Amino acid sequence: MEDAYARSITEVLDFFGVDPGKGLSDSQVALHSKIYGKNVLPEETRTPFWKLVLKQFDDLLVKILIAAAAVSLVLALINGETGLAAFLEPFVILLILAANAAVGVITETNAEKALEELRAYQADIATVLRNGCFSILPATELVPGDIVEVSVGCKVPADMRMIEMLSNQLRVDQAILTGESCSVEKELESTIATNAVYQDKTNIIFSGTVVVVGRARAVVVGVGANTAMGNIRDSMLRTDDEATPLKKKLDEFGTFLAKVIAGICILVWIVNIGHFRDPSHGGFLRGAIHYFKIAVALAVAAIPEGLPAVVTTCLALGTKRMARLNAIVRSLPSVETLGCTTVICSDKTGTLTTNMMSVSKICAVHSVHRGPTIAEYSVSGTSYAPEGMIFGSSGLQIEFPAQLPCLLHIAMCSAVCNESILQYNPDRGIYEKIGESTEVALRVLAEKVGLPGFDSMPSALHMLTKHERASYCNQYWESQFKKVSVLEFSRDRKMMSVLCSRKQTKIMFSKGAPESIVSRCSNILCNDDGSTVPLSVAVRDELESRFHSFAGKETLRCLSLAFKQMPIGQQTLSFEDEKDLTFIGLVGMLDPPREEVRNAMLSCMTAGIRVIVVTGDNKSTAESLCNKIGAFDHLEDFAGRSYTASEFEELPALQQTLALQRMALFTRVEPSHKRMLVEALQHQNEVVAMTGDGVNDAPALKKADIGIAMGSGTAVAKSASDMVLADDNFASIVAAVAEGRAIYNNTKQFIRYMISSNIGEVVCIFVAAVLGIPDTLAPVQLLWVNLVTDGLPAIAIGFNKQDSDVMKVKPRKVNEAVVSGWLFFRYLVIGAYVGLATVAGFVWWFVYSDTGPKLPYKELMNFDSCSTRETTYPCSIFDDRHPSTVSMTVLVVVEMFNALNNLSENQSLLVIPPWSNLWLVASIVLTMLLHILILYVHPLSILFSVTPLSWAEWKVVLYLSFPVIIIDEILKFFSRNSTGLRLGLRFRRPDLLPKRELRDK
């Protein structure tokens, strides 16, 4: 029943045909079960494992690699190759792809856990009226129309419409659903609000929420998927995971690279059509196959096989560093996404605040005889821990608060006129509440005030165990004042009273709304001497002024406390007794902001990141909090910056777009609004981070570019998120953003390094094919270079130090190409040199080496026809392994020097020396040792078609390799100076890599 909140009790009962005194009959239960289904969240259809695996290979570069591996295997078999040589290359390629697929499958499997965790918020049992009798049944058996009774501590088993109040009031904690910091009072009357959100449906108690005060009966109106929790589940199912900015840019780059590779491969094959009939190939078909094999080798050379593995490794290293900052990353790509976050949509309750009500202000009458009349105290401590101090109006700490009469009586009243429980949870290491959060705040205040008569009171309390300390003072007062009778809170009185006996005396303590308590007071307790004096009109006006200041300007939730001496023999209380009270004091409480949030907010602004506070609380409370944390000190007021969900939805489309660009606060929201906000910001090309801790936050966390859950939050929120803040500290997000930016910078560096290296390999094969000289490198040698030589230094580049100004620059644009413009030109120049140096090493051995044949260059170009004409040298010379070994070694060494170039994008090696990244130095040393190993260890040298080199050959390798440092230093010089900037602008438009809109509009 969708509109039960707007219907009267009679209409709802008639709709389901249920008698409130008897409940449903067995036949009605069976019928309703068929119509509405069971009270369980249905199992979602899981993606089959084989589909998850295949999805990981749905990438153009991956498909090209698989095709290259298959073709390589087929050609090897056609040529009669057997054993390890035929299978090594395809096997290694497939091994890499399998490893990357495994990481992807694990990540996607984790994402489905959020939906499973949602079931934990369903109640297990319910007290149900059927056939005129109450019985306790499994909550899964509930059907719409069932009459259910709920009381304090009950988890609500389904969405239900209130029909009967069995106590003075019913209050429900629905923070996990709406994010409200205080419990919500429920009522029987129907709601007339249009476009009602969950907060407006005050006659509905929602599935998964918890009753904290009172007892009532309600009729079930929604079960399973048709509940508020079911709506959250559906919203999560409708949410598709967004690809991260880096993933999108790599995909674009992959598509671009695939087209270039295909073009070059076809070009190389076509250029050599004239050589297909060369006698050395043994026929046209074999010649075509030979050059097709060269084209495949070119594809292998062009594709950075190690790139996905290196990106994954670098992000994994970043997650370890972020874990030390209390940011636990659940999804690797989100590390990089943090770096380009432009908007953080922060949940208020539990994220910017502690989600623990605490007393922050106390107001009492100091004296009516001498000024000042009113004494105001502030209280420190922002959690349920009984740790904090009380300060006077001058800001000085009150060392022994219990020695002041008003504070002492406030502690007594807070402890005795209270039905909540404060306890220590050793498993979680925190103090927890049972009952109403405002009452627990009073219990914590009583602990902070302490007990009278002990000069060593504060230090003595510190000697207790945490379990004993939780309620030590409260238990003392409860043992002193034995409860005799209780008048529960009611909406008309707006107060609660408790009759207690102590040492042959009777005393009544009362607490309630200030206007209710003060109007019933005729006396006041003075704080200077403990005397009781009549309450004058002037003092009453002063108290009302302070109350309006607390409630209005500071938006504190206020309670007044009072007491009254009662006749010795009295055993019960009546409403008539609640008059002629003695006023004790006024307390103001709030869900306090976290102390470190202010600086974190300022850091976000410096880094160009906008913060939007999103909450289910009302507008004034949220605006007050934003003023307290100093997040919006730069705003004169909230006009045009603060909207409720209803106000925003009523705006025309154009004004909504403008409002999104200026919004700083979004209030009275429910789960669907949070998800809508994320989507709207994403349509404006913002990169959105969403923080939250409740079940209500899960759909938005899943939809956001990066979802950030609190460590103390619900399991649902954590499972739907990309990152979890272990310390619940908003400030940790700022540290994580800085780390994300540094990781992206390093990622760009090693991507450029690998691309320039691969360009070198392509140039090497292409130039050799165009010149008509023998193959400079075998496919297995290319694979070794791509995996080992490129891979280890690329990973080490991920350890480059973070720039000092990383959080002083604006977020990068999401459509910023990973490699574009002037930088692409730079690495094209470097790549061209790498390729030409590799070919030069090959030609040098044939033409100039003392140990080589010293052939004329023309003979080298006509090696194909060697067997058909007379020569002064044996044709077997072209099968010698020395030239390809020199080429491979030049390629390895030149790439090691190129790795040093990537310590910084623009800074010279004279400014940032190699030893600034010892990991890179170590990777270069290890790579060279591995290369020497395959050169000088016999089985490996045969496998990789290489041979040991002489010292003379090593010197030539070094001569050909070192100039890459000089070339890049010149290019860096231009980058740092105006000439480089002009060239940069010239090359930046149009980008050499494709650009496309990030999201379909």
pLDDT-derived band at 715, boundaries 50, 70, 90: low
Which range has the worst mean pLDDT, 20-24, 259-263, 393-397? 259-263
Residue 32 tokens, joined: 């309703």
Q: What would the pLDDT profile of 550-600 be if each residue is shown by its tens digit?
A: 887 777 889 999 999 999 888 899 999 999 999 999 999 988 887 778 888
537 belongs to a structural domain: no
Same domain flag for 253 and 335 = no
Q: What would the pLDDT profile of 306-325 be if each residue is shown by its tens digit?
A: 566 667 667 767 777 777 77
Residue 807 is predicted with a pLDDT of: 74
What size, in residues, is the chain? 1001
Same domain flag for 802 and 929 = yes
With CA atoms as reference, report the closest residue to 408 among 585, 540, 267.
Answer: 585
Residues linked to residue 19 through DSSP beta bridges, in sequence order: 23
* Listed residues 728, 757, 773: the one ending a domain: 728
- Give the percent of the chain with pLDDT over 90: 22
End-to-end alpha carbon distance in the chain: 35
Predicted TM-score of the model (pTM): 0.63
Sign of the C-alpha dihedral, residues 252, 253, 256, 261? negative
Q: Which CATH number belongs to the domain containing residue 3 in this structure?
A: 2.70.150.10
Which range has the worst mean pLDDT, 292-306, 817-831, 838-852? 292-306
Residues 6+ apart with CB under 8 A from 791: 306, 309, 310
Same domain flag for 146 and 257 = no
Same domain flag for 625 and 715 = yes
Q: How many domains does the chain have?
A: 4
Same domain flag for 806 and 886 = yes
Residue 111 is predicted with a pLDDT of: 41
Residue 328 is predicted with a pLDDT of: 80
Mean pLDDT of 273-292: 71
Residue 46 is predicted with a pLDDT of: 60
988 belongs to a structural domain: no
Q: Who wins on pLDDT, 821 or 558?
A: 558
Mean pLDDT: which of 123-137, 377-391, 970-984 is highest?
377-391
Residue 85 is predicted with a pLDDT of: 54
Residue 144 tokens, joined: 């719409």
CA dist 608 and 687 (Å) reads 12
Same domain flag for 934 and 874 = yes
Same domain flag for 424 and 571 = yes
Asked if 589 and 444 touch (Cβ cutoff 8 Å), the reply is no
pLDDT-derived band at 525, boundaries 50, 70, 90: very high
Residue 115 is predicted with a pLDDT of: 40
pLDDT-derived band at 890, boundaries 50, 70, 90: very high
Strands 610-614 and 688-692: unpaired
pLDDT surpassing 50 at residue 631: yes
135 belongs to a structural domain: yes
Q: What would the pLDDT profile of 487-510 be if each residue is shown by its tens digit?
A: 888 778 889 999 999 988 999 999
pLDDT-derived band at 985, boundaries 50, 70, 90: very low
Residue 517 tokens, joined: 């308590």
Q: At what angle do helices 963-976 and 951-961 cross, to 10 degrees?
A: 10
Per the annotation, the verdict on 705 as an active-site residue is no
Residue 110 is predicted with a pLDDT of: 46
CA dist 31 and 144 (Å) reads 10
Same domain flag for 498 and 483 = yes
Q: Which CATH number belongs to the domain containing residue 802 in this structure?
A: 1.20.1110.10
Q: Determine the 3-state secondary structure of 326 from DSSP.
A: coil
Residue 919 tokens, joined: 């990991």
Residue 354 is predicted with a pLDDT of: 76
pLDDT surpassing 80 at residue 714: no
687 belongs to a structural domain: yes
pLDDT surpassing 50 at residue 1001: no
Q: Which CATH number belongs to the domain containing residue 688 in this structure?
A: 3.40.50.1000
Q: What would the pLDDT profile of 49-69 be if each residue is shown by its tens digit?
A: 677 677 666 666 667 667 766
Q: Who wins on pLDDT, 200 or 64?
A: 200
Same domain flag for 971 and 832 = yes
Exposure class string for 229-241: b at 16+ Cβ within 10 A, else e: bbbbbebbeebee
Residue 622 is predicted with a pLDDT of: 82
User: Percentage helix, strand, coil, to 5, in the chain?
Assistant: 50, 15, 35
Residues 6+ apart with CB under 8 A from 820: 988, 991, 992, 993
Residue 805 is predicted with a pLDDT of: 65
pLDDT surpassing 70 at residue 984: no
DSSP, residue by residue, 647-702: HHHHS-HHHHHHHHHH--EEES--HHHHHHHHHHHHHTT--EEEEE-SGGGHHHHH
CB atoms within 10 A of CB 657: 13
Same domain flag for 294 and 309 = yes
992 belongs to a structural domain: no
Q: Who wins on pLDDT, 130 or 105?
A: 130
pLDDT-derived band at 903, boundaries 50, 70, 90: confident
Mean pLDDT of 710-720: 71
CA dist 152 and 435 (Å) reads 8
CA dist 166 and 153 (Å) reads 15
CB atoms within 10 A of CB 395: 7
Q: What would the pLDDT profile of 654-689 be if each residue is shown by its tens digit?
A: 899 999 988 889 988 877 788 889 999 989 888 899
Cα–chain center distance at 529: 55
Residue 978 tokens, joined: 């105006």
* Listed residues 701, 728, 755: the one ending a domain: 728
Q: Who wins on pLDDT, 84 or 697?
A: 697
CA dist 368 and 175 (Å) reads 43
Which range has the worst mean pLDDT, 335-344, 707-716, 906-915, 931-940? 707-716
With CA atoms as reference, report the closest residue to 350 among 718, 702, 70.
Answer: 718
pLDDT surpassing 60 at residue 118: no
Residue 262 tokens, joined: 């295909």
pLDDT surpassing 80 at residue 755: no
* Listed residues 564, 587, 610: the one ending a domain: 587
Q: Which CATH number belongs to the domain containing residue 404 in this structure?
A: 3.40.1110.10
379 belongs to a structural domain: no
Of the listed 347, 591, 790, 864, which one is catalytic? 347
776 belongs to a structural domain: yes
Residues 6+ apart with CB under 8 A from 133: none
Q: What mean pLDDT value characterizes the chain?
A: 80
pLDDT surpassing 80 at residue 153: no
With CA atoms as reference, report the closest residue to 345 among 615, 9, 629, 672.
Answer: 615
Same domain flag for 216 and 252 = no
Same domain flag for 438 and 486 = yes
With CA atoms as reference, report the closest residue to 347 among 728, 901, 54.
Answer: 728
358 belongs to a structural domain: no
The kind and range of the H/E element at 296 are helix 284-302
Strands 358-365 and 581-590: antiparallel
Q: What would the pLDDT profile of 235-245 be if each residue is shown by its tens digit?
A: 666 555 555 56
Domain carrying residue 769: 248-318+738-978
